[in-house]
Amino acid sequence: MGEDFALLLREAGALLEGHFLLTSGMHSGRYFEKFRILERPELCRKFARRIVEHFFPSGVTVVCGPTTGGVIVAYETARQLGCRCIIAEKAEDGRKIGRGFSLTANDRVLVVDDVLTTGGSIQETLSALHPSQSEVVGIGVFIDRSAGVSFPVPLFSVYHEPVVNYQPENCPLCQAGVPLTAPGRSGKKKSV
Ligand SMILES: [Zn+2]
């Protein structure tokens, strides 16, 4: 309550301005560096707190997050709710709930993630949960930077700031000659 999340993001260096190449191939003038939040447990605690307050009445029994950053969000959210935390990992086709995690039709699942951009990871997580017949009560994200993604269950974001993406050929930053950077890479060829 009363937290200025925009200020917290700026202070942590999580909100970058410049000219960025996104994993989708699009360009953007703003970029959320989620690991500047995820590396600070105290900051994660504050963001997760809002998600917990929002979904507390929903009777959540399990929190599920997609790898990589979503695992940290799921763990902290589950810690505050006092329930289990499970992971949706990359699989050959979409995502899978492995590691011997068990879900029943009585489970009430909250899906969480760090930054919502296109909704791909969350959609894959919902698909991975589907065979368990558990009920997904909602989706909670730290940052929603999308222009609006629709899901079959309610979405709650702690901080919402739609960011415009450009096709490289129509990018005003390219046209202005601003150097392009590719942030958020894991250091390997493929971003995770
Ligand atoms: Zn550009």
Distance from residue 166's CA to the centre of ligand 1 (Å): 7
Give the mean pLDDT of 167-178: 97
Distance from residue 22's CA to the centre of ligand 1 (Å): 10
pLDDT score for 3: 87
Distance from residue 103's CA to the centre of ligand 1 (Å): 44
State yes or no: pLDDT of 31 exceeds 80.
yes
pLDDT score for 185: 62
What is the set of domains in the chain, with CATH numbers? 58-162 (3.40.50.2020)
Give the mean pLDDT of 135-143: 98
Cβ-in-10-Å burial (0-12, 13-18, 19+) of 141 comes to buried
Residues of the chain above pLDDT 90, percent: 89
How far is the C-alpha of 50 from the C-alpha of 73, rounded, in Å?
A: 12
State yes or no: pLDDT of 186 exceeds 50.
yes
How much is the pTM? 0.91
State yes or no: pLDDT of 135 exceeds 50.
yes
